[in-house]
């Protein structure tokens, strides 16, 4: 274990050791498998009747996806709530992108001092390690459950995500171009706007829109978990309060259509960039 065989040109067998990254990945996969197996044994199966549960689940899925319809809300109301959810996702993404851009300049090793880069990387790693839902609940203590806590929570995680993505894109720039401008006495801002941003704009757009798609999904969940409103709240009410599987299916289809449209727009933006 930790080795792999490789045949050389003269027919000899060469044994290569797995590098540290490969060893960590293997350990992670083994640990995930172990915890998954342990999790199945720790579940409480008392009172679970597997046969009726499977039949009931299939019946609900049939109702949801084969006979979807609006009952408690109208189509117009549902579309308005989708716009609310998109607005929450857009607001947290665009503010996060602006903040992340400036932080990424200080995070990229080829554009910043080592101590500053490591400080920012440590800070965003801590933020990224905390799930978005938990950030929302933390800010809900001060701001109360609602759209404000949801936006701030998504903003925090968006910044941590985008700073890493942006800085890695900046670090991939050809060092020779940056050194050439420095040799000619170009200012720091001139380097950023003449080389860094033009060279990486397609990556920045792609990563930003990917985060927007992610935030849309999170905003749907926060509509129910944090009372942020939007289509997620309507989905929560239909599934738990009214228990209307027809409407749950219709809302699910609506969310799916919006997600597909966002993916199509993202592909167009990547091609245009």
Strands (E), the chain: 3-7, 13-17
In the predicted structure, residue 11 carries a pLDDT above the cut 90 = no
Instruction: Answer with the one of 42, 60, 78 that is the final residue of a domain.
Output: 60
Regarding whether 102 and 46 lie in a shared domain, the answer is: no
Regarding whether 253 and 123 lie in a shared domain, the answer is: yes
Regarding whether 166 and 243 lie in a shared domain, the answer is: yes
Which of 61, 60, 1 shows the shortest CA–CA distance to 29? Answer: 1
Regarding whether 155 and 32 lie in a shared domain, the answer is: no
Q: pLDDT tens-digit profile of 83-108?
A: 999 999 999 999 999 999 999 999 98
Over the Cα atoms of the chain, what is R_g?
A: 24
Regarding whether 96 and 50 lie in a shared domain, the answer is: no
In the predicted structure, residue 1 carries a pLDDT above the cut 60 = no
Which of 220, 218, 202, 173 shows the shortest CA–CA distance to 266? Answer: 202
Regarding whether 73 and 56 lie in a shared domain, the answer is: no
Instruction: Answer with the one of 36, 60, 84 that is the final residue of a domain.
Output: 60
Residue 243: give the domain boundaries.
69-272
Read off the pTM: 0.79
Structure tokens at 229: 């409103």
pLDDT at 264 (0 to 100): 87
Cα–Cα dist 171/117, whole Å:
12
pLDDT at 249 (0 to 100): 92
Q: Give how many domains the chain has, as a whole number.
A: 2
Regarding whether 81 and 55 lie in a shared domain, the answer is: no
Regarding whether 103 and 153 lie in a shared domain, the answer is: yes
Regarding whether 213 and 114 lie in a shared domain, the answer is: yes
Q: pLDDT tens-digit profile of 122-173?
A: 999 888 888 888 888 888 777 777 788 888 889 988 999 999 999 999 988 8
Task: Count the alpha carbons within 13 Å of 162 in the hemisphere toward its beta carbon.
Answer: 31
pLDDT at 90 (0 to 100): 94
Regarding whether 198 and 256 lie in a shared domain, the answer is: yes
**pLDDT category, 8, cuts 50, 70, 90?**
low
The DSSP-derived string for 56-72 is: HHHHHHHHHHHS---SS
Query: Treating both helix axes as pointing N-terminal to C-terminal, what angle do 75-107 and 245-272 enclose, rounded to 10 degrees?
Result: 40
pLDDT at 99 (0 to 100): 94
Kindly state the percentage of the chain with pLDDT values over 90.
Answer: 26
Cα–Cα dist 77/81, whole Å:
6
Helix%, strand%, coil% for the chain, nearest 5:
80, 5, 20
Regarding whether 126 and 10 lie in a shared domain, the answer is: no
Regarding whether 158 and 31 lie in a shared domain, the answer is: no
Cα–Cα dist 252/82, whole Å:
11
Cα–Cα dist 207/107, whole Å:
16
Q: What is the CATH number of the domain that holds 188?
A: 1.10.3720.10
Q: pLDDT tens-digit profile of 166-209?
A: 999 998 888 788 888 788 877 888 888 888 888 888 889 889 99
């Amino acid at each position: 274990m930790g080795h792999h065989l490789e045949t050389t040109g003269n027919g000899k067998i060469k044994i290569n050791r797995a590098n540290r990254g490969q060893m960590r990945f293997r350990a992670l996969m083994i640990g995930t498998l172990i915890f998954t197996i342990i999790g199945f044994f720790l579940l409480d199966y008392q009172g679970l009747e597997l046969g009726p549960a499977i039949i009931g689940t299939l019946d609900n899925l049939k109702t949801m996806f084969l006979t979807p319809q609006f009952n408690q809300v109208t189509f117009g109301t549902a579309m308005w709530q989708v716009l609310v959810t998109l607005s929450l996702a857009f607001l947290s993404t665009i503010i996060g992108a602006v903040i992340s851009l400036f932080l990424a300049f200080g995070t990229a090793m080829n554009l910043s001092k080592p101590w500053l880069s490591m400080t920012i990387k440590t800070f965003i790693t801590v933020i990224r390690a905390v799930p978005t839902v938990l950030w929302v609940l933390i800010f809900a203590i001060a701001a109360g459950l609602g759209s404000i806590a949801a936006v701030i929570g998504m903003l925090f995680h968006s910044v941590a995500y985008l700073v890493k993505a942006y800085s890695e894109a900046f670090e991939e720039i050809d060092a020779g171009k940056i050194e050439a401008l420095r040799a000619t006495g170009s200012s720091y801002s001139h380097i950023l706007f003449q080389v860094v941003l033009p060279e990486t704009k397609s990556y920045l757009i792609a990563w930003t829109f990917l985060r927007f798609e992610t935030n849309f999904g999170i905003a749907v969940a926060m509509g129910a978990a944090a009372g942020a409103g939007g289509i997620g709240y309507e989905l929560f009410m239909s599934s738990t309060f009214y228990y209307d599987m027809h409407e749950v299916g219709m809302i699910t289809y609506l969310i799916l259509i919006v997600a597909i449209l966002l993916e199509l727009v993202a592909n167009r933006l990547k091609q245009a960039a």
